[in-house]
Chains A and B, each alone.
Chain A
Amino acid sequence: KNEVEQSPQNLTAQEGEFITINCSYSVGISALHWLQQHPGGGIVSLFMLSSGKKKHGRLIATINIQEKHSSLHITASHPRDSAVYICAVNVIQGAQKLVFGQGTRLTINP
């Protein structure tokens, strides 16, 4: 079993829909990251969380440390949001060593 599990693996939605991507982890962590990867490979860091909730524009990320679960929400989704979204965690003893989920491929149709 992977230490970081994401669901769903693939998600297709219509423009304007509210999107939720989930991440569960089984190890102790010091921080959780949500990353976005577009075709071509470059990765952009969206959020780094250690507790609570963060919001950037239409993106919201939450984390529940007790339940070892995080969610990424996209409101009013747009075709340019189409990308792979990756959850990654800093394991407590690992400094900058990140452990990654398998990613969620999101496609937003116009």
Chain B
Amino acid sequence: KAGVTQTPRYLIKTRGQQVTLSCSPISGHRSVSWYQQTPGQGLQFLFEYFSETQRNKGNFPGRFSGRQFSNSRSEMNVSTLELGDSALYLCASSLLDSPKTEAFFGQGTRLTVV
């Protein structure tokens, strides 16, 4: 069974641009969560999608958005990039949106904003 796949693995963007990251969950998993990891703040929750609906959202500005498709694949978008958006973006998939369901993480997308 294939794991969680995130694309691209690495990305360099310029301030002010926008970026879209993709996450393909494990087959059959319906919940996808996104996290941002920076050296200063550590890992922080961005949002969670289940069956194409956003179920939870972290404390991030509106420039961060996401969506989930009917095949459970998810994308997150960051508009008007700032230098501080440079981070490792991780997604995790789980079978259900129950908190007692194990989460499986992807390898992450490392975004550098210059």
Contact = CB atoms under 8 A, between A and B. Distances in A.
Contacts of B42: 100-103
Grouping DSSP codes into helix (H, G, I), strand (E, B) and loop, the B interface class, with mixed when no group exceeds half, is strand
A41 B88 contact: yes
Contacts of A48: 100, 102-103
Interface residue range, chain B: 20 to 34
Contact of B33 (A44, A45, A96, A103): A96
B107 A96 contact: no
A76 B102 CA distance: 27
Q: Which 3 A-B pairs have the closest CB atoms?
A: A90-B99, A43-B105, A30-B99
Interface of B: 31, 33, 35, 37, 42-45, 48, 50, 55-56, 58, 88, 90, 92, 94, 97-108, 110
